[in-house]
Amino acid sequence: MMHVLVINAAVLALAMLVLWRIAVRIGDVSFVDAVWAGGMAGLALLTLAQVGADAPLRAVLIAAATTIWGVRLALHLYRRWRANGEDPRYARILGKAKAEGRFAIAALTIVFAMQGVLLYLTCLPAQLGILAPGQGAPGALVAAGALLWLVGFVFESVGDAQLARFRADPANKGKVLDTGLWRYTRHPNYFGDTCVWWGIWLMAADAGLPVALAGLIGPVFLTFTLTKWSGKPMLERGMAKRRPDYAEYVRRTSGFIPLPPRK
């Protein structure tokens, strides 16, 4: 198991170095968001390939769940980057370094190196769940995890599609999306993302307590970063400045878990 994890880390590090060089050449790191999702799909498939034909059904299910989620999200984020250009978040983070001629080193240390480490840790439950030996049919934890994954995948996919349609209409410029899933939570995509990875963790936990404990860092970190660090807080600060109606939307709409709107 350790041998495979080391190989995965080395492949990921090499990929991040190559992508960093591309980012330096084009002067934009924003596509790293698509790399985040696609990289997890890649790690799952790389792990499954190293296990080979002896992989239990649980491993195949985890690899499939991770790949389906990762490929969809990566394509969505890549298309958004191609349509909108540089992400304002990264422009703020790296703006001073770019002006001072330090863009390359800042992009490596602040973005690609950090993203690589966090990507690897977040994907740990999928890697461990695929690597763990198993016999017989998957247990109840796999079924529960698959159901939670499905809820999250639907929430994230539908939320992203609703937001894309809303932004595509010029009449909505400067307005706040408060219909569909966005009526019940300010972040259906983040909520869905969290459910997906808690679901994958549950599926991996079917392999036993050691795998469950070792992989717990993945969904815990993802939940923290989406709700307390670079996800929800950073996005909402920007929205409050750009959207006059956002404060009223915040007052009536749940911040994360879908709930009926407050009057």
**Has residue 136 got a pLDDT over 80?**
no
Nearest 10 degrees: CA dihedral of 173, 179, 185, 191? -80
pLDDT confidence of residue 231: 77
pTM to 2 decimals? 0.92
Instruction: Return the structure tokens found at 90.
Output: 């990264």
In a domain, 201, yes or no: yes
State how far the Cα of 42 lies from the Cα of 57, in Å rounded to an integer. 19
Helices (H) then strands (E): counts for the chain? 13, 0
List helix spans (H) across 85-187.
Answer: 88-99, 103-106, 113-122, 124-131, 140-168
CA distance 219 to 223: 6
| Geometric angle at alpha carbon 41, from 38 and 47, rounded to 5° | 140
Mean pLDDT in residue range 79-105: 90
- Give the pLDDT band of residue 44 (cuts 50, 70, 90): very high
The answer to the question of residue 261 being in a domain is: no
What pLDDT, on a 0 to 100 scale, did the predictor assign at position 54?
A: 84
Residue 104 lies in a domain: yes
Task: Residue count of the chain, please give it.
Answer: 263
Q: What percent of the chain has pLDDT over 70?
A: 99
- Residue 130 CA to residue 134 CA, distance in Å, equals 9
Q: What is the number of structural domains in the chain? A: 1
- Residue 259 forms part of a structural domain: no
Phi-psi region of 93 (alpha: psi -120 to 50; beta: other; left: phi over 0): alpha
- Cα–Cα distance for residue pair 164/198, rounded to 1 Å: 26
Distance CA 66, CA 152 (A): 12
CA-to-CA dists, residue 178 to 64, 82, 84, 181, 183, angstroms: 33, 26, 22, 8, 5
pLDDT tens sequence across 230-255? 778 878 887 877 787 888 999 999 99
Beta carbons of 156 and 73 less than 8 angstroms apart: yes
**Contact indicator for 201, 145 with CB cutoff of 8 Å:** yes
Q: Residue 102 has what DSSP assignment? A: -
Phi, psi of 37 (to 5 degrees): -75, -45
Residue 263: inside a domain: no
Q: What is the average pLDDT across 182-187?
A: 95
pLDDT at 193: 96
217: containing domain: 2-252
Q: Residue 48: what pLDDT?
A: 96
What's the mean per-residue pLDDT of the chain? 93
Any domain includes 258:
no
Confirm if 65 and 146 have CB atoms less than 8 A apart: yes
- 99-123, pLDDT tens digit by residue? 889 999 999 999 999 999 999 999 9
The model's pLDDT over 149-158, given as tens digits with 9 standing for 90+, comes to 999 999 999 9
CA–CA separation, 37 vs 69, rounded Å?
A: 8
Residue 253: the pLDDT is 93
Q: How confident is the model at residue 10 (pLDDT cuts 50, 70, 90)?
A: very high
Instruction: Provide the token pair at 19.
Output: 């992508």
